Structure 1
Amino acid sequence: MPPAMDESMAPPSSPPRGTKRKADEMVGPRRIRALHQDVVNKIAAGEIIVSPFHALKELIENAVDSGSTSLEILVKDGGLKLLQITDNGCGINKDDLSILCERFTTSKLKAFEDLTSIGTYGFRGEALASISHIAHLAVTTKTADSSCAWKAHYAGGNLAPAKPGQSPDPKACAGRQGTQIAVEDLFYNVPTRRRAFRSASEEYAKIADMVGKYAVHCKGVAFSCKKHGEAGAGLAVPANATFRDRIRMVYNSATANELMEFELKNDQYGFKTDGLVSNANHSSKKTTFLLFINHRSVDSTAIKKALEQTYSTFLPKGGKPFIYLSLEIDPARVDVNVHPTKREVNFLNEEEIVELICDEIRTRLGKVDTSRTFMTQSLLSGGKTPSISKAATLPEDTTMEDMPSAKRPSTAKAAAQRPYENNLIRTDAKTRKITSMLPQAQNTLSREPTSDDVAYEYNEKEATICRLSTVKELRAAVRENMHSELTDVYANHNFVGIVDDRKRIAAVQGGVKLFLVDYGMVAAEYFYQLGLTDFGNFGAIRFDPPLNLRELLEIGAGQTKIREPDSADLDWDEVVMAVSDQLMSRRDMLNEYFSLEISEEGELLSMPLLMKGYTPSLAKLPSFLLRLGPHINWNDEKGCFDTFLRELASFYVPEALPPSPVSKDGNEDEVLATRRDELHRAIENVLFPAFKARLVATRGLLKGTVQVANLKGLYRVFERC
């Protein structure tokens, strides 16, 4: 018998399995061992089959790949108890049943290079293998040349006997052509995953939503989906239904009636897309987004947000669209193997393709927007009760009797749904304003702005696609810094008027709220974003005769000395020389990217034109050119583009006008008055409509936007008086 071991010599007790060891407990590195194959298979199955509807998605894709024209789906307990799909496709050969559920066995991929031309749904050979590791799987199949059907059971990726003691080989049975796959007791051996599902009805809703997406997209394929034990199908779509009819059956008729067809093709980026998108008359509380890339249902947050932002200009606040897009891209440009469940894909030129799609949808929305419903308030009607009014555009020879009864306005219904008075606001910016009734305002508005006489010429230069990664990074930074609520305010605002043109403050109405905005700050951000969007495709303001660059810089130096007395000690001649040399050495780049053209003789030929109908104050030109020297990061590409566009945006910001001197006869200085009227007209009719159309409000603009009134709040205050 060995002597008793001293307690000091006893080995330290190892921590329980799964407990993190502390540094002082580490005796040495642990050995690296390969995981058991059964553990590997279960981990892989958990990544691919996350929930019942993921399993059904894989089965639907396999069925469609087999050439099926009819799919019947049966669900019990949200798919956890039974998930069965029956198709009429080509079936599976009996000889292939032995390896059907082994990992990485597929009929659609032979070499890695085949991924560049893959045109089917499944290709990795993992779906059935993963399901067989976490459920009881039975497959019944029959091919056209087979005299009978064959049924096989699987467990752990291999053939298994239907009952203990029986042979695992496939058994002959009666059956029709096609394949029936039954998945029972999903996640029976993964209790943690099974307990995570809250209710069977919630899982069935996810299954029905996913089946509905494929039922809309797969033209020529019939779908039916029902719960086990119910007589009728919860979802049924015939094979000969059109896309619009499929949407009507899966969703509702109200949505299908407000859809417009959408098509777009671009050879440069190797893609084409078609589908059905809602017009401006359709609005719901939640976006319905069906996206198929190369016929595979995928999710894309970037595309969804871009489309929602496009629709925000046309829909009321909080309104969301219905979008069904089928995007076909050259397979060589798509990477389909980036997500375990194939829910996402990557493709080249994503930003450019999304931008083209949004522009096309924006154009189509503008063409079909003929009927809108607003709540309006009559200001001069002599005390009539406000009501909902509907304005519709009809042909001249159309009468009320010609209209369908469902579309005729119902006065009884309008009276029954009369809104509260404190919610009634003016929503049409074209409605007559109270300022138009004042004589002084009428005289002011009668002045014609001088910028209307500017002549524009169109050149034959083709638009170029910006492929610079630095510009794309700057665009992405703007999107990441977007403030959604503030963007909605600017996208749906109504311009009220200019409050102070010295401090550059204007009032806008957003919903039932009144805001004071620093339009100088907003304009700076807008023109910066415009510069990023139109990078390399600017127009040009041409000077005839050309301006001497050196003289402009000297004028700018003189203006800076007056504004900044502390800078009088600088050698301004040296500063002017250095900036001039800097601009001359980079004039090719400035002309190519920014349309700022300087001749070899040092003459300024043109400046970038960012917006048609608006001319910046050329009095700011000397200071702008002088700042291009020290305020531009010329040593870094991204920094150079960023700082140059910031300076260019600052140049385009409307100037702060000084108080106008009054002559002895009480009249305002004519030159300053003309410029003031021209600037006010441009701010109201050019700048703010542009903000409404395409401004992405960033978080920095929160400092320049202040809420000063709320109609509901004011209504409660006056109600107490």
Structure 2
Amino acid sequence: METSIDMDMDHGEPRGTKRPAEETEVSQAPKRIRALDPDVVNKIAAGEIIVAPMHALKELIENAVDAGSTSLEILVKEGGLKLLQITDNGHGIDRDDLPILCERFTTSKLKQFEDLSSIGTYGFRGEALASISHIAHLTVTTKTAGSSCAWRAHYSDGKLVAAKPGQNAAPKATAGRGGTQITVEDLFYNVPTRRRAFRSASEEYAKILDVVGRYAVHCSGVAFSCRKHGDSGVSISTPAAANTVDRIRQIHGSAVANELVDFKIEDEKLGFLSSGLAANANYHVKRTVILLFINHRAVESTAMKRAVEQTYASFLPKGGHPFVYIDLEIEPQRLDVNVHPTKREVNFLNEDEIIECICHEIRSKLAQVDSSRTFMTQTLLPGLTTTEPLSRGNDGPHTTPKNPATAKKPYEHNLVRTDARVRKITSMLPPAVARDDMEEETASSNPLDEGLQYEITDREPLRIALTSVKNLRASVRNAMHNNLTETIASHTYVGLVDERRRIAAIQSGVKLYLIDYGMFCSEFFYQVGLTNFGNFGVIKLDPPPKLIDLLRIAADAERTSHETQRISQGTQPRSQANDEREAEENEIFANAPEMVSKALIDRREMIDEYFSMRISAEGELLTIPLLLKGYLPCLGKLPRFLLRLGPYVDWTGEEECFRTFLRELAAFYTPEQLPLPQTKDSTVDESEIPEDEAGDDELIKSRRSQMTRMMEHVIFPALRSRLVATTKLLQGVVEVADLKGLYRVFERC
């Protein structure tokens, strides 16, 4: 036997063997493109839709509910890999439809592409049963109300097959009750790699129970039962008459069902209605549980999960996580359900605004019941003491007081400041504004009250399905740095450190970081531009300035900057080449305003539609886009922003045009550098202070006060809830302190 193995190893080609040179030369020839075999195509599609037994069951449950079922019975064997059976009492399937039941893209719910904009059912593509039939043995037994008997059919690779070799493949008449029973056996029998990837049957069964539990909570009027094959008892059982709270009690336990508060919110402008149940502060678990249904479809949303966790951060103790059930109904034309093979994710308009509205409603409900927290306590009756039994030692009998058990006190270096209202490090610094300004700021009820007025328009939101925008969004997701994103999402704002270098301090966990908020804001506003593309708010300019005047201001500033830079580099000897170059630069700066103005006016319809920057035919700048409510960009940067739209935006390609325009828009919105505030110090020679920092005028003081408030109350909260931190942002983060490390230093001292 050993000799046989050695011979096989000697003659077999080892893995990773380098190809001979002649084979390499041949392989460099272009290979012909051929159409894949339909069987291969179908198996690839099946692998995308049916990833695990839980996905197959999810599709079957949705089909059963779509068929009007009021009772679903689920039977599982070996985690669904050996057997997965669902029996319902719905409308059933007509005998004449059985031959094409498992063919791809055969459905009763969709007739034309436009129907996707008003789809109201779970399934619509007709791929679920087809995918299952390509990777499992599928049997369907069904009976309609008008049929005298039930019909049983067997499927393989989307086609009818005989139950046994030699028999007819046509559906057979059989006894059966009204409804449909679908049996899936030997799932992934012909995909051994996928089947070996599942670690244990119990783990897959737990995932199946999670899927059944989600739909059992949401589908009111439908009875669910799920059990293992061979077990006499059921793992999940909910009657059809049970309400939502009772369903949560039966599936998730009474501990959470007794601590639920209901909420409901509707907004006709955003086109949504949401209701649900959220656990109050008396209940928390080790991991967040969110049952999210959008238009009655169980989906997942990272943005919703993050927002809910932040909402509960001020109500739950450290390490506690919430339980929330959310039923969100959105107008169908605002929703895109066809973005994921398993329909696990959906896209909808105004996602951030809708999530914020829901979290605000949950926050208000939690605040109302926050005073009703319950604590279990036990006290002694007056006059009684607790003692140990008498013990006799060398000193005779004595009693030893019994100390009550106390919780272990945590070390202080493990404590984290999570309340933004407690004393900050900035309170120990000298005030940067006058006393009168501080009193006015304290008296103001709204820290962002800068005289800004907002109004809601009747403009219908655009549905953006451009491939270029989707590609740009995907590139941001691909460059995401998970750890940095979590750090920003869980940070606490400490304060501004250096307004000239644009550095701020934040705390995350027990660590203190300095971040370049200019770099972070540039990336954040670029992402906001991609998220709200085509649906920006507007900032009205009244009276509207002339576009050509703004461009001339920017051109003059650029010319002055070039001349200053040339002088600072040293006076060069005059020559004909230098004179010609200088004359050419002056001509460029002189002609640039007219050229850029003409280009923007010619493209004003596209710029208005996609970027909400409205330019009149006479060349007046009427509006600029609003990216973040409560934040006002520096309008002094507006002329330079407009001038850069000429040479720095690629108007020739769609994707590059959008990317470069949004980058310039993000640079305009990025907070500007401000001179450091000057303090009275007799030891400093005024002649050594730079001329531009010799004194702060009223405009700089006002802008500094405005920026301080907007950074704390608008920008950094927005970064915490919406920023996808990319890898390049690591260059703008420096860890300056670790609380544990500081304690070690103090211990040495």
TM-score normalised over the length of structure 1: 0.71
Is the Cα–Cα contact under 8 Å of residues 237 and 249 in structure 1 kept in the other structure?
A: yes
Tell me the alpha carbon deviations over residues 376-431 of structure 1, each in whole angstroms, 9 at most, x when there is no partner: xxxxxxxxxxxxxxxx854xxxxxxxx5xx72475999952643321224332322
Distance 2:172 2:698 in 1: 92
Whole-angstrom distance in 1 between the partners of 2:132 and 2:640? 69
The 1:453/1:142 distance shift into structure 2, 3 A limit, reads closer
Measured at CA, do residues 364 and 700 of structure 1 come closer, stay the same or move farther in structure 2, by a change above 3 Å? farther
What residue is the counterpart of 1:716 in the other structure? 744
More moved, 485-494 vs 184-193: 184-193
Q: Tell me by how many angstroms 1:719 deviates.
A: 3.6
Tell me the SS of whatever aligns to 2:507: strand
Counterpart CA distance in 1 for 2:704 and 2:472 is 31
Q: Indicate which of 686, 698, 711 corresponds to 1:687.
A: 711
In structure 2, how many angstroms separate the alpha carbons of the residues matched to 1:290 and 1:359? Answer: 17
Asked if the contact 2:294–2:330 (Cα under 8 Å) also holds between the matched residues in 1, the reply is yes
Per the alignment, do residues 98 and 159 of structure 1 end up closer, same or farther by CA in structure 2, a change over 3 Å counting? farther
Q: Secondary structure at the match of 1:232?
A: coil
Amino acid at match of 1:486: L
Match of 1:67 in 2: 68
Q: Report the CA distance between 1:223 and its aligned residue.
A: 0.1
Is the Cα–Cα contact under 8 Å of residues 536 and 627 in structure 2 kept in the other structure?
A: no
Are the aligned partners of 2:154 and 2:160 in contact in 1 as well (CA < 8 Å)? Answer: yes
Deviations, residues 342-367 of structure 1 (Å, cap 9, x unaligned): 513897xx352534432433443453
Aligned to 2:232: 231
Classify 1:246/1:506 alpha carbon distance in 2 versus 1 (closer, same or farther; 3 Å).
same
One-letter code aligned to 2:676: L
Describe the shift of the 1:294–1:202 C-alpha distance in structure 2 as closer, same or farther (beyond 3 A).
same
1:286-325 equivalent positions in 2, closer than 5 A: 286=287, 288=289, 290=291, 292=293, 295-297=296-298, 304-311=301-308, 313-316=310-313, 322=324, 324-325=326-327
Name the amino acid aligned to 1:715. Answer: Y
Of 668, 671, 675, 1:656 maps to 675
Give the number of equivalent residue pairs: 656
* Contact 1:92–1:179 (CA under 8 A) maintained in structure 2: yes
Asked whether the equivalents of residues 544 and 621 of structure 2 are also in contact (C-alpha less than 8 Å), the reply is no
RMSD over aligned Cα atoms: 5.5
CA distance in 1, matches of 2:661, 2:170: 68
- 1:250 corresponds to: 251
Structure 1 residue matching 2:311: 3-state secondary structure = coil
Summarize the Cα distance change of 1:484–1:124 in structure 2 as closer, same or farther, 3 Å threshold. closer
* Correspondent of 1:642 among 653, 657, 662: 662
Distance 1:553 1:482 in 2: 37
Q: Secondary structure at the match of 2:221?
A: coil
**Closer, same or farther in 2 for the Cα pair 1:407/1:88, shift >3 Å?**
same
Among 488, 491, 500, the residue aligned to 1:490:
488
**Worse-matched range after superposition: 683-692 or 587-596:** 587-596
Unpaired stretches in structure 2, ≥5 consecutive residues = 1-12, 380-403, 442-446, 572-577
For 1:515, which of 503, 513, 516 is the aligned residue?
Answer: 513
Distance in 2 separating the partners of 1:433 and 1:328: 42
Tell me by how many angstroms 1:370 deviates: 2.0
State the shift of 1:694 in Å. 1.6
Structure 1 Cα separation of the partners of residues 48 and 557 of structure 2: 67
Distance 2:35 2:426 in 1: 82
Whether 1:577 and 2:568 are equivalent positions in the alignment is no
Deviation at 1:106, TM superposition (A): 6.5
> 1:108 touches 1:120 (CA, 8 Å); kept in 2?
no
Instruction: Tell me what 1:386 maps to.
Output: none
User: Helix, strand or coil: the match of 1:68?
Assistant: coil
2:54 and 2:207 in contact (8 A); partners too: yes
Q: 1:40/1:552 Cα in 2 relative to 1: closer, same or farther (>3 Å)? A: closer
Is residue 536–residue 625 contact of structure 2 (8 Å, CA) maintained in 1? no
Question: What is the rounded CA distance, in whole Å, between the counterparts of 2:362 and 2:202 in structure 1?
Answer: 37
- Partner Cα distance (2:544, 2:136) in 1: 79
Look up the equivalent residue of 2:512 and give its one-letter code: L
The residue aligned with 1:387 is: none
Residue identity opposite 1:500 in structure 2: D
| TM-fit CA distance, 1:703 | 1.8
Distance 1:168 1:497, change over 3 A: closer
- The CA deviation string for residues 66-113 of structure 1, in whole angstroms up to 9 with x for no partner, is 3221112222222344333332334456x5597487646978369667
The 3 A distance-change label for structure 1 pair 70 and 306 is same
**Residues 635, 647 of structure 1: alpha-carbon distance in 2 compared, 3 angstrom cutoff:** farther
Residues 700 and 50 of structure 1, relative CA distance in 2, 3 Å threshold: closer
Deviations 1:312-358 (A, max 9, x none): 6435498677454455664897575x87xx513897xx352534432
AA of the residue aligned to 2:304: L
Aligned equivalent of 1:360:
357
Amino acid of the structure 2 residue aligned with 1:539 = I
* TM-score calculated relative to the size of structure 2: 0.69
Partner of 1:221: 222
The 5 Å alignment of 1:2-17 reads none
| Aligned residues of 1:334 and 1:345 also touching (Cα < 8 A) | no
Deviations along 1:428-465, one digit per CA (max 9) or x if unpaired, are 23223476578x54985543589999644557865574
Indicate the residue corresponding to 1:199 in structure 2: 200
Letter in 2 for 1:582: M
**How far apart are the structure 2 equivalents of 1:357 and 1:414?**
47
Q: Tell me what 2:414 maps to.
A: 423
Q: Distance in 2 between matches of 1:480 and 1:510?
A: 24
**Secondary structure of 1:447's aligned partner:** helix
Find the partner of 2:735 among 690, 703, 707. Answer: 707
Quick one: distance in 1 between partners of 2:102 and 2:620?
A: 74
Report the equivalent of 1:561. Answer: 563
639-648 or 215-224, larger mean C-alpha shift: 639-648
Q: Which amino acid aligns with 1:704?
A: G
Compute the displacement of 1:705 (Å).
1.7
Corresponding letter in the other structure for 1:344: K
C-alpha displacement of 1:230: 2.5
Are the counterparts in 2 of residues 559 and 623 from structure 1 also a CA contact under 8 Å?
Answer: no
Q: Which residue of 2 aligns with 1:499?
A: 497
Q: Assess if the C-alpha contact under 8 Å between 2:265 and 2:361 holds in 1.
A: no
**Which consecutive residues of structure 1, in runs of 5 or more, have no partner in the other structure?**
1-14, 372-391, 395-402
The whole-number CA distance in structure 1 between the counterparts of 2:658 and 2:41 is 45
* Alpha carbons 1:76, 1:227 under 8 Å: kept: yes
687-696 vs 639-648, which moves further: 639-648
5 Å-filtered alignment, 1:379-528, equals 394=371, 403=372, 407-408=374-375, 416=407, 418-433=409-424, 436=427, 441=431, 444=434, 446-448=436-438, 455-456=451-452, 465=461, 469=466, 477-528=475-526
Shift of 1:508: 2.4
